[in-house]
A and B are shown apart, each in its own frame.
Chain A
Amino acid sequence: MDMDMLETSKTNGEAFTGTVRLIHAVGMHARPAVKLTKLAKRFQAHVAIRVEGAADWINAKSVAKVMALRAAHGSMIEIKALGEDAQAAVTALVDLVAADFPEAGH
């Protein structure tokens, strides 16, 4: 998948990572998945996520892939970004998950 770019490309800037616990009661389901992908899309950086320790990273801008993660309540989510605004992307996404996908904007 195109997230392999994260592993190989070093030309576009530094990779940043973060880890956060998913406290949402039903896990990473439709509403949280939509919020997460919408926020990820605001950044230029390639952003990938996975459930901690999982083999594959998936594109954090794809709602279909994020749903397919089936991340459960209480699981640890790893976030990784590469590109100009990678650090800001990781910070914003970690905050979103940690704050349990708040209703009012950001």
Chain B
Amino acid sequence: MRADAARLAFRGRTASIGFAHGQFVRVDAGASGKRAAGSPAEEAEAFRNAAHAASRQIAELATVAGGEAAQILEFQVALLEDDEFLDPAFGLIDDGVAADAAFSRIVDEQIADYNSAPDEYLQARSSDLADLRDRVLRILGGGESRSLSVPQGAVVCADDLPPSRFLEIDWSAGGGLALLRGSPASHVAMLARARGIPMVVQLGSVPNASVALLDGEGATLELDPGAEQIGLFERRREVHRKNRASARAILRRPAASWRGERIRLLINIQRVEDLDHVDAQYADGIGLMRSEFLLDGRGALPDEEEQYQAYDSVLRWAGQRPVTIRTFDAGGDKPVAGFTPEREANPFLGLRGLRLCLSRPDIFAVQLRALARAAVRGNLKVMLPMVTAPAELEAARKLFAEAVASLQARGVAAMFPELGIMVEVPAAAMAIADFKAAFFSIGSNDLAQYVLACDRSNGALASLMDPLHPAVMELIARTAEHGRRSGASVSLCGDMASDPRSIPALLDCGLRELSVNASALAQIKQTIDRLSSGGSGG
């Protein structure tokens, strides 16, 4: 029994939290069977009919789904009504290509085009195109089988699942989604989170079973569980339910505190629309806005106006709250065409972050001007990444002063914001007192990577890559101590701030400001609250 239980537990990655205990049902993504092609005229007719039928089906789904899901589907309907999109398929059909092959070809070209974009959002849209393609092919293949017959509350297992298949399933009684591949960034993951459906992705391969337990928090799938497994699962589910309810309530309370000291909880954002997260409003400010999203390729680097608009919109959102914007942190694992060096033997130890910006003052000056203009709007703090020596900070300060002066000379409103550094190079942490910075923000991801000599993206090193290693913690404590003595504020914005298990150690070594992902805000606030009232973390 026990051996069986161990064998039938699988671990993947969390895409949506929550718990599901139900019938285990396998579903395919809706591949089509072979069909016999007719004459070009017949194929054109078949294609026209299939496009109409698909359009009708999707419109129906959109009506049922509503909200965000409807908007996703509306894009597919619009494509089916777009002659410029469909005409090349009719062209191929005229040339004797079968309807299904013709449509596949034009959609696949579009998918390749979307995937070639460095823009993550556009890449994610390619799954909508694949969804549309598969639906039309299903109809052409005669498999008009509309709704999936999935019993209510089931744990649905598929290789991957397109958004419209997800919407065909009745989730009103709960249930869960276990994907063998898939990604937490996909559209279907977004839908699952919006609906509160637990979802685990990248499970690898999984045998058939009749009953499943899906734990979206632990990212596990257990098949045909015994009574003991079910008991443990139900206990975890209950703890989760209580935690969530109280975490949401805690979020609405004004401030986190620990041993009578105020703890500031800020959020990290990747791009402007991250502010749409429902919990973002409860943050004490923005502890890290990454500006690299502005470098999403498309050939040209963003001009001053485009950057200014982005920074300004975040400052407007924040009102009086502080907003820390990090200057371009390109290079390393974030190459940008036309900006980062082409062939570096070791890019993580190469020309990245501030080093790169100082080597390209033409590009850096544009960003500094945009930031100086935005500084007029609110409480802006500008953070320099990958600083090794005080001379780099001073060089950046000089360029910043020049940017402010040039704007003011032209009569443009501009201000010199607070200038601080990210502490991620071990040398900077060790010689922290040499930096005349207004604030310090500890980038614990890179700091741990450099201190432990472990590539953080290398899964084989996962057990060594421990940010709670005493050597890393000593550098964090040293930085916090310097802040207390000098009066400069110190925060930590790496992933460990979003991990409840790290919170006791971070508070113990003197940090009073943490910047976390918006989705972790409630949990971290609750963790601090518990520690404060003497409980254990997590």
Please list the residues of chain A having a beta carbon within 8 angstroms of any beta carbon in chain B. 21, 23, 25-26, 29-31, 33-34, 37-38, 59, 61-65, 67-68, 70, 72-75
Task: Tell me the bound Cα distance from A30 to B273 in angstroms.
Answer: 15
Q: Is the CB of A73 within 8 A of B309?
A: yes
Do B85 and A64 touch across chains, with their CB atoms under 8 A apart? yes
Q: CB within 8 A of A63: which of B85, B117, B296?
A: B85
Partner of A26, one of B71, B110, B117, B273: B273
**Closest chain A CB from B398 CB (angstroms):** 28
Q: Is the CB of A75 within 8 A of B121?
A: no
For residue A32, give the distance in angstroms from its CB to the closest CB of chain B.
Answer: 10
Determine the interface band of chain B, counting residues with CB < 8 A from chain A.
20 to 34
Q: Does B74 contact A (CB under 8 A)?
A: yes
Q: Hey, which chain B residues are within 8 Å of A70, CB to CB?
A: 117, 119, 122, 298
Please report the C-alpha to C-alpha distance between residue A26 and residue B270 in the assembled complex, in whole angstroms: 12
Q: Note all chain B residues with C-beta closer than 8 A to A65.
A: 82, 84
Q: Find out whether the CB atom of B79 lies under 8 angstroms from the CB atom of A64.
A: yes
Min CB distance A87 to B, Å, is 24
Q: Are A25 and B302 in contact (CB under 8 A)?
A: no
Chain A residues lying within 8 Å of B308, measured Cβ to Cβ, are 74
Q: Which residues of B contact A73 (CB under 8 A)?
A: 272, 306, 309-310
| B67-125 CB contacts (< 8 Å) to partner A | 71-72, 74-75, 78-79, 81-85, 110, 113, 117, 119, 121-122, 125
Closest partner residue, chain B, to A74 (CB atom): B306
Residue in contact with B305 in the complex, picked from A29, A64, A74, CB distance below 8 Å: A74
Known: A30-B71, A34-B75, A63-B81. 11 other contacts (CB 8 A): A25-B313, A26-B273, A30-B128, A34-B78, A37-B78, A59-B84, A61-B82, A62-B85, A64-B79, A68-B113, A70-B119
Task: Determine the main DSSP class of A at the interface with B.
Answer: mixed
Contact partner of A31 among B71, B113, B305, CB < 8 A?
B71
Also in contact, A30 and B117, with CB within 8 A (given A63-B85, A73-B306): no
Cβ of A63: which chain B residues have Cβ within 8 Å of it? 75, 78-79, 81-82, 85
**Is the contact region of chain B dominated by helix, strand, or loop, or is it mixed?**
helix
Closest-by-CB residue of B relative to A2 is: B84
Are A72's CB and B85's CB within 8 A?
Answer: no
Which 7 residue pairs across A and B have the least CB separation, nearest first? Answer: A74-B306, A64-B85, A62-B84, A63-B78, A74-B309, A30-B75, A25-B272
Interface string of B304-316 (1 = CB under 8 A from A): 0111111001000
Q: Quick one: given A62-B82, A64-B79, A64-B85, are A74 and B125 in contact (CB under 8 Å)? A: no
Given the interface contacts A29-B122, A30-B125, A65-B84, does A74 sit within 8 Å of B310 by beta carbon?
yes
- Give Cα A100 to B117, complex, Å: 24
Most buried by B among A21, A25, A29, A37: A25
Chain A nearest CB: distance from B162 CB in Å?
15
Partner of B82, one of A21, A31, A37, A72: A37
Contacts of B81 in A (CB 8 A): 63
B300 to chain A, nearest CB (A): 9
Contact (Cβ within 8 A) B84 A64? yes
Question: Which chain B residues numbered 216 to 265 have a C-beta less than 8 Å away from chain A?
Answer: none
1/0 per residue, CB under 8 A from A, across B300-343: the answer is 00100111111001000000000000000000000000000000
Which chain A residues border B79 with CB–CB below 8 Å? 63-64
A3 to chain B, nearest CB (A): 10
Residues of A within 8 A of B125 (CB): 29-30, 67
CA distance A63 to B97 in the complex (A): 25
A61 to B83: give the CA distance in the assembly, Å.
9
Q: Is B271 an interface residue (CB 8 A)?
A: yes
Q: Is the CB of B82 within 8 A of A64?
A: yes
Decide yes or no: A72 and B306 within 8 Å by CB, A62-B82, A64-B85 being known contacts: yes
Please, how many angstroms separate the alpha-carbon atoms of A73 and B303 in the complex?
11
B296: chain A residues within 8 A (beta carbon): 72
B83 lies within 8 A of A62 (CB): yes
Bound complex: CA A73 to CA B84 (Å)? 25
Report chain A residues within 8 Å CB of B309. 21, 23, 73-74
B188 to chain A, nearest CB (A): 15
Beta-carbon contact of A34 and B113 below 8 Å: no
CA distance A59 to B87 in the complex (A): 14
Chain B residue with Cβ nearest A29: B121
Q: For the complex formed, measure the closest distance between the CB of B200 and the CB atoms of chain A, giving whole angstroms.
A: 26
Which has the most chain B C-beta neighbours within 10 Å: A29, A37, A72? Answer: A72
Report the bound CA distance from A61 to B75 in whole Å. 13
Tell whether, in the assembled complex, residue A64 and residue B72 are in contact, meaning their CB atoms are under 8 Å apart.
no
Q: Which residue of B lies closest to A65 (CB)?
A: B84
Residues of B within 8 A of A34 (CB): 71, 74-75, 78
Residue of A nearest to B114 (CB): A67
Interchain nearest-CB distance for A50 vs B (Å): 14
Shortest B275–chain A CB gap in Å is 8
16 A-B contacts (beta carbon < 8 Å):
A23-B309, A25-B271, A25-B313, A30-B72, A30-B125, A34-B74, A38-B78, A63-B82, A64-B84, A67-B122, A67-B125, A70-B117, A72-B302, A73-B309, A74-B302, A74-B309
Whole-angstrom CA separation of A46 from B307 in the bound complex: 33
Nearest-neighbour CB distance to chain A for B303, whole angstroms, equals 8
Chain A residues with CB below 8 A from B128, complex form: 30
Residue from A31, A59, A68, A73 having most chain B Cβ neighbours under 10 A: A73
A49 CB to closest chain B CB (Å) equals 13
Which residues of the other chain, A, contact B83 by a CB distance below 8 angstroms?
A: 62
Q: Which A residues lie within 8 Å of B272 (CB)?
A: 25-26, 73
Q: How far is the CA of A70 from the CA of B121 in the complex (A)?
A: 10
Cβ–Cβ < 8 Å partners of B307 in chain A: 74
Contacts of A37 in B (CB 8 A): 78, 82
Complex: how many Å from CA A37 to CA B308? 28
Q: How far is the CA of A20 from the CA of B71 in the complex (A)?
A: 24
Q: Is A25's CB under 8 angstroms from B122's CB?
A: no
